[in-house]
Structure 1
């Protein structure tokens, strides 16, 4: 596809190298005629690229942006919505294995119990006491570090290498973890403790690279593919919550519970790997990832020939990209710092108003259903709602205002009904009020998160979209780390 500008001195050409778009119907003339777009053009904002001819044989990156638009009219169809479904699946795969890893708390407590005492005891061993905090610390530091590294250097590594390598590593770790469930580790608990933390680091490093890669690529697609990805993440939370509730209902032993969790997690990662390999060979996926993403601005030539084969690959600059999306990055960092500061560390300590009266709902199921299932369901609904009803649109400052207002949830949760209040008063007494709070907390989290993830790639040029999405995901992870640290302080404040 060629972009031609003719003046009295010479022909200057700006060529877009894309073998999948061979038709000349998409050529845009500088005369701004009515026929510059193909008849089947898709006018969505996700499919636009702005470009400008270079002058005097010098590539001026600042002049690439102009008022011309390329709207591709011959994008192959997403047959049977396969790519959309796989994005959904990959979103689920980025969260569910780790959720299962964390949810198997009874299993880890069993593995690190005091084996010198027969029967059960309420006294926790040092490893039992420190495991949750060590798990959170290892996951937060490793995940956040590599998400930031991915945002800076991720564009230097191909998506295929990032996705397949990380998926295979996660699958291998889960296979090893599953195989250790039935192994007696009582005689080497300390070694098993260190092995577990090491696997946590590897899983989170791999998940960070995979998440940064797939979110970066999702920014190259129309916005509803980003919605599919983030909705898949929320769906993973729902699946984990349902599995936890079912385990409580059947009263399975810790080893059996962990085996079920890890087998499901391994199967999900294996299915994601197979589906990704198939998706990567689909024309629709190739068109957006390996076609439209490889635009080159070629130097001016005085020749009328279109056989120019020398050019310069446009490379994103992280400072320029961050300067365009820093508001969205701050938004999503504050958003997830707010969420993680009280959920689940604080909210899991809340109790039903009828707790201790002998009702199974109040004593056993209230907290798993309300704290995990209701929150994740609200989060899932909020992300879908943002994809259908994107308001505010392209206004990050309004989103920032809404994110700051959402901070009001923090004191409300800190003052909700709990038996461990020592310093703060109880202001939220009823179950109905707490349920409304947790559902709306989840909805606002999902809605505002998806708005930011959709908005950021649209605020930059075509070759910057992948880096923009990676920066936003790194900011999200930074928010999670900050929120986890705040949650420790908030628990002590209760």
Structure 2
């Protein structure tokens, strides 16, 4: 294993390419799902009686949460390479299935097609658990700037899909079957991009010098999850076995890691409980009618996604990074004041105030997510960092699941 002095030039070699690849892989982690969310106006048109914005999110989350819980429990024995490739491949196949389903039914609504779309939503949840947990765990044992780039890519997928949706809506709004044409374009782009991510992760990512360096370091500390990626990165089989010394595999248990970082876990849970109790269901269905008409919900979702992306880059400015554990918890709890703010704005405010609130929701979501996930893995060995990354994603997805469930409370008193 190289010393830190010998490793310094390796870490810097190909650093910016690694940051770009991580950004693209983060983008691919949620691009398909965000495409489904962003064409909510098409699904609301096809399935007006089924609350698709809320139902699809509610279907997605149990599959994501259940899968990540199982994967996190067995994390130490799971081949990270196979896990992530399987996740990106499932994203690709599921996006393709949406195209096939729409073509087979000629774009007609109905309970049968809606069940099919819900099944694809569940598949997206399974793929997300494979990729998001696998990548966050893998990048947690590397440089913080790589995990920040991956998290920024997650947000960028939302911003890109929102921008594409606004463009396709403008392009096809007055054409016959304009909703459907825009949706088909989305699914086609999603398919292509997920295929690119499969190839990037399989053939480019493991060969990056900075990635190989950190994986070799993790293997020397007892990690059993990186051997396939080390081999894919060019290490010979005997070299992989040499760094995987069984005597070095002592590490803190998942329970010990969780007890030491329970505040970070609660932080992520609370961030996403709040965010998903408002976005996208409340924004899509409960903000009333305004001068923007059918563009209103799309603009709100776009503003959330853009500011979520901006928020994930703010911690790169070190004076603005929030690393205090107490400070993070205080900021996250204060954020719950957004609930009454959204309630009263939807009843009495105009669209300008709602756009401003939605922008702040996105900004705070992105900023706090990056602050928590870059601070938490510090001070541990590679195998422990990987395990902790997986555990934190469990709580993140649990928060999302709780949030989309609580989102239904906005419907109380509205006759459904």
TM-score normalised per structure 2: 0.85
- The alignment's C-alpha RMSD in Å is 2.6
Taking a change above 3 Å as real, the CA distance of residues 444 and 133 of structure 1, as seen in their structure-2 partners, is: closer
* 8 Å CA contact 2:217, 2:382 repeated in 1: no
1:382 counterpart residue number: 311
* 8 Å CA contact 1:75, 1:287 repeated in 2: yes
1:60 counterpart residue number: none
Unmatched runs of 5 consecutive residues or more in structure 1: 1-17, 27-36, 41-71, 113-123, 298-308, 357-361, 419-425
* 8 Å CA contact 2:315, 2:321 repeated in 1: no
Superposition deviation, residue 225 in structure 1:
0.9
1:287 counterpart residue number: 213
Q: Using the alignment, how far apart are the partners of 2:111 and 2:295 within structure 1?
A: 33
Q: Which moved more, 1:102-111 or 1:262-271?
A: 102-111
1:90 and 2:19 correspond: no
Taking a change above 3 Å as real, the CA distance of residues 179 and 220 of structure 1, as seen in their structure-2 partners, is: same
1:411 counterpart residue number: 340
Superposition deviation, residue 235 in structure 1:
0.8
Taking a change above 3 Å as real, the CA distance of residues 188 and 407 of structure 1, as seen in their structure-2 partners, is: closer
Structure 2 counterpart of 1:443, from 363, 371, 384: 363
Q: Which has the larger radius of gyration?
A: 1
Question: For residues 16-415 of structure 1, what are the structure 2 equivalents within 5 Å?
Answer: 18=1, 21=2, 26=3, 38=5, 72-73=7-8, 75-79=10-14, 81-109=16-44, 124=48, 128-129=49-50, 131-184=52-105, 189-250=110-171, 251=173, 253-277=178-202, 278-296=204-222, 311-348=247-284, 349-351=286-288, 355=290, 362-369=292-299, 371-389=300-318, 391=320, 393-415=322-344
Unmatched runs of 5 consecutive residues or more in structure 2: 224-244
* 8 Å CA contact 1:316, 1:467 repeated in 2: no
* 8 Å CA contact 1:392, 1:398 repeated in 2: no
Q: Using the alignment, how far apart are the partners of 1:437 and 1:310 within structure 2?
A: 53
Taking a change above 3 Å as real, the CA distance of residues 155 and 346 of structure 1, as seen in their structure-2 partners, is: same
Taking a change above 3 Å as real, the CA distance of residues 191 and 129 of structure 1, as seen in their structure-2 partners, is: closer
* 8 Å CA contact 1:390, 1:451 repeated in 2: no
Bigger relative contact order (CA 8 A; separation at least 6): 2
1:472 counterpart residue number: 392
Normalized per residue, the structure richer in helix is 2
Taking a change above 3 Å as real, the CA distance of residues 338 and 459 of structure 1, as seen in their structure-2 partners, is: farther
Q: Using the alignment, how far apart are the partners of 1:395 and 1:216 within structure 2?
A: 22
